[in-house]
Amino acid sequence: MIDPSTYLLPRRRHDQGMYVGALELDVLLGDVHSLKEKRSLVRPVLAELRRKFEVSVAEAGHLDLRRRALVGVAVVAADAAHVTEVLDRCERLVAARPELELLSARHRMLGPED
């Protein structure tokens, strides 16, 4: 018979856990006349967020509106401060894009006690 202690992971300390952060960015696009033009502006932003910050990101709303986009960003980490820092940096990157106007940003955090 196999000794369970050889394959069971050690218990986590109470102060450790997993944090999931979500960021919702409501964006107004500049001079866009079609959904195809919208995609050509939004896709590079999503790709840059993925590449620079290793986050999950998607266009999650306003899909039929040509001048609006709702971008969702998610990150998972063992440290709440790291999650907050990454989401803040993602927000600043989008806000700094000259072709976009950031209308609103909403942060959410889910921790081990939730």
For residue 46, what is the domain's CATH number? Answer: 3.30.70.1120
- DSSP string of the chain? ---GGGTSPPPPPTT---EEEEEEEEEEESS--SHHHHHHHHHHHHHHHHHHH--EEEEEE-TT-SSEEEEEEEEEES-HHHHHHHHHHHHHHHHH-TTEEEEEEEEEEE-TT-
Please determine, for residue 14, whether its predicted confidence score (pLDDT) is greater than 70. Answer: no
Q: Give the global pTM.
A: 0.82
Q: What is the mean pLDDT of the chain?
A: 89
Is residue 1 included in any domain, yes or no?
A: no
Whole domain around residue 24: which residue ranges? 17-110
Query: For residue 30, is it within any domain?
Result: yes
Our count of domains for the chain comes to: 1
Q: Could you read off the pLDDT of 75-107 as tens digits, one per residue?
A: 999 999 999 999 999 999 999 999 999 999 999
